[in-house]
Amino acid sequence: MKLANRILALFIILGFVSVFFTLQVRAETNLGDIYENFLISKSNAERGDSEAQNLLGAMYLRGIGLRVPKDNMKAVHWFIKAAEQGNANAQFNLGARYYYGEGVPQDYKKALHWYTKAAEQGNANAQFSLGAKCYDGERVPQDNLKAVHWFAKAAEQGEVRSQSLLGAMYYNGLRVPQDYKKAAHWFTKAAEQGEVGSQSLLGTMYYNGEGFPQDYVKAAHWFTKAAEQGEVGAQSLLGAMYYNGEGVPQDYVKAYVLLNLAASQGNVTSKHNKEILLKQMSSSQIEEGKKLSK
């Protein structure tokens, strides 16, 4: 079973583990239908500017309206130019083209070569990708130590998928000794960046006193963050906390809204808890809860 499926099967972490390869270009660059930017980049690329070469490759890969059609072969041409000059972003982008066979024949050996080049220069996406491949044994021998090494390198740069995955590995003892303190460290890093699964699990750790002293207030804080992003498990648990008055003032109306929301998405526990809650609510509370649930 692949890393993503394995973790998802163990606990609720939504939307963070898929191994995907994003194009790396400078963050301030607008790759929309701005033909003038294309012309400037092309001119600079032809003069040997590796940043412009990488950007030009990205433009060809995506296409710019009708004036610059998508062209994978031209994209690869410019990624090669930049990668051979040591541009880490281009090395990552070139590795992805070889991995997927876009503009070049699919070649996993060359893909891993360029991913490694980029990772060794500190490219966080490449580090994450190598970590995932080492964990799964995908086109490389399975190597837990290398997986943790590359995930940690990326996580230390703020790469949120790696932070979440390291947290999951240490929380569950997946290929590493179980360590709640390390899990808490990495889940906190990811949760602070808004990663919903980590927020939910961080709430669970505070609630259970795993890696931290038990703290219902902090548990409610992180469940709230995750619930606001639609995480069903967090909605259910937070609803129960409002019902019991754990870490938050007891509030049957808020409990109803949260449990109803989770139940409407198929959460069986929330449906059961809502039925119990309804027996203790006044008619006015039920009416208010239904009104707020619309």
Residue 194 lies in a domain: no
Host H or E run for residue 39: helix 35-46
Is residue 144 within 8 A of residue 166, CB to CB? The reply is: no
Asked if pLDDT for residue 10 goes beyond 60, the answer is no
Residue 119 lies in a domain: no
Query: Where do we find the tokens 């190597």?
Result: 143
Phi, psi of 265 (to 5 degrees): -100, 10
CA 66, distance to chain mean position in Å, is 33
Host H or E run for residue 232: helix 232-244
Residues in the chain: 294
What are the residues facing 64 on neighbouring strands? 68
Mean pLDDT rounded to a whole number for the chain:
90
Count Cα atoms within 13 angstroms, Cβ side, for 212.
19
Residue 198 lies in a domain: no
Residue 270 lies in a domain: yes
Predicted pLDDT at 66: 78
CA 287, distance to chain mean position in Å, is 38
* Residue among 236, 180, 230 at smallest CA distance from 209: 180
Average of per-residue pLDDT across 241-265: 98
Residue 247 lies in a domain: yes
Domain of 248? 230-294
Residue 89 lies in a domain: no
What distance in Å separates the CA atoms of residue 82 and residue 77, rounded to the nearest whole number?
9
What distance in Å separates the CA atoms of residue 201 and residue 189, rounded to the nearest whole number?
12
Residue 260 lies in a domain: yes
**Angle 135-140-145 from CA coordinates, rounded to 5°:** 40
Percent above pLDDT 90 for the chain: 83
Q: Over the stretch 133-189, which tens digit does the pLDDT of each residue have?
A: 999 998 889 999 999 999 999 999 999 999 999 999 999 999 999 999 999 999 999
Residue 161 lies in a domain: no
**Angle 168-170-173 from CA coordinates, rounded to 5°:** 100
The whole model's pTM is what? 0.84
Predicted pLDDT at 64: 84
What distance in Å separates the CA atoms of residue 189 and residue 48, rounded to the nearest whole number?
38
What distance in Å separates the CA atoms of residue 39 and residue 237, rounded to the nearest whole number?
54
What distance in Å separates the CA atoms of residue 115 and residue 118, rounded to the nearest whole number?
5
Give me the amino acid identity at 182: K
SS3 content of the chain, % helix, strand, coil (to 5): 65, 0, 30
Number of structural domains found in the chain: 1
Query: Where do we find the tokens 């303190």?
Result: 181
Q: Over the stretch 174-226, which tens digit does the pLDDT of each residue have?
A: 999 999 999 999 999 999 999 999 999 999 999 999 999 999 999 999 999 99
* Residue among 120, 147, 156 at smallest CA distance from 2: 147
Q: Over the stretch 44-54, which tens digit does the pLDDT of each residue have?
A: 999 999 999 99
CA 118, distance to chain mean position in Å, is 20
